[in-house]
Amino acid sequence: MALATTVPFKNFKVFLGNGATPEVFTSPCGLTSAGLTLSKDTNSTVVPDCTDPDAAAWVERDVVSLSAAISGSGVLATESLATWEAAFVSTSPVNVRIQVDVPTVGGYWTGAFHLTRFDPAGTRGNRVGVTIAMESDGNVTWVAVP
């Protein structure tokens, strides 16, 4: 039996660009969970069997659009508050990299994203937490890093 090679959380990071030339990417502190969702919207067409119209028909799908979403949660690190606030109030998207840092198959997804949700919340007796959501604005591509 061969065990799967897995990736620890520390090797999966979200980096936000600062918009400078050349652009500098930093990973906001405080996220204790992060995720990337890649989605494909399709339209479906039921295609009948021409020789047997009563036979069960197969569904064919055409791709309409692709999109990506980033989610994350953790603690509200004061070091990152200005970064998140700037991304939220901006009417322009922020360049983002979602990095998977592992030997031989590492790299990152990159694209422009809008910070669509910035949700700091606290409960007495606990530290203030934060939940974020970002939606892609245009294409997102994979860049392999050997």
Residue whose structure tokens are 């939940």: 131
Residue 110 confidence (pLDDT) above 80: yes
Give the separation between CA 12 and CA 18, rounded to whole angstroms. Answer: 20
Q: Which fold has domain 9-144?
A: Elongation Factor Tu (Ef-tu); domain 3 (2.40.30)
Contacts with 15 (C-beta within 8 Å, 6 or more apart), sequence order: 25, 26, 27, 96, 97, 98, 99, 108
List, for residues 50-106, the tens digit of each pLDDT value.
Answer: 999 999 999 999 999 999 999 999 999 999 999 999 999 999 999 999 999 887 788
The predicted pLDDT at position 105 comes to 81
List, for residues 9-31, the tens digit of each pLDDT value.
Answer: 999 999 999 999 999 999 999 99
Tell me the residue type at 99: Q
